[in-house]
Amino acid sequence: MKSVITVADKKQFIKWFLERYELRNPEAEWLLQYLASNDQLLAKVHFTEQFKNVHKSLLMSTTCVQMTGFKFYKNKRVTSDVEKAFLDVHSHPEEDVYITLYYRQRSDCVHYLQVIESVQEPVRKTTPTDILMELQVDLLLDHIENIHYTKQLKIAIDQALDEGDRETFMKLSANYQAIVCNVH
């Protein structure tokens, strides 16, 4: 972990990351590209592993890990809508944004370790009930997101069948099968 992480370091990391990994949510890739294209915004971006208990955070994961694809946290509100996150980041460029990325072998990744920052978490008394409720909400949101994603995938599979697009059909079917196998 470097003591001073420059905008250039962050930009280089995002470029490196996007060249090697596919995000579960393709719109999240567009958001990262947008952040990397604006030095003033990128100066307010912090890559961290503590995405909760901060004012504004983004959680993104790649297709190679079994995690929620995208979450935007702001003031204890959570959404999976990338467009809402973009609008907030665009409308409030003065606010810090904390990004947590989940991808295969990130803990051993030199590029990741060069941009990761630690966040001083506010001292807060957390009861076991609070923790349990938070976990239940996260599980419910993940479940709802998976249902939505599965429905969208079925629609795309049907469309590929209708259009006779074998390559797309095979790719989407494999994605669907991987999801169904992980659920059961």
Cα atoms in the 13 Å half-sphere on the side-chain side of 20:
13
For residue 55, give its domain range.
7-121
Cα atoms in the 13 Å half-sphere on the side-chain side of 21:
26
Residue 14: CB atoms within 10 Å? 22
Domain boundary among 101, 121, 141: 121
Same domain, 113 and 132: no
Tell me the two tokens of residue 63.
């297709």
In order along its 184 residues, the chain shows pLDDT tens digits of 456 889 999 999 999 999 999 999 999 999 999 999 999 999 999 998 876 678 899 999 999 888 889 999 998 788 999 999 999 999 999 999 999 999 988 888 888 888 988 765 544 566 777 777 888 888 888 888 888 888 999 999 999 999 999 999 999 998 888 777 765 5
In a domain, 22, yes or no: yes
Size (the chain), residues = 184
Same domain, 96 and 129: no
Residue 99 contacts residue 45 (beta carbons within 8 Å):
yes
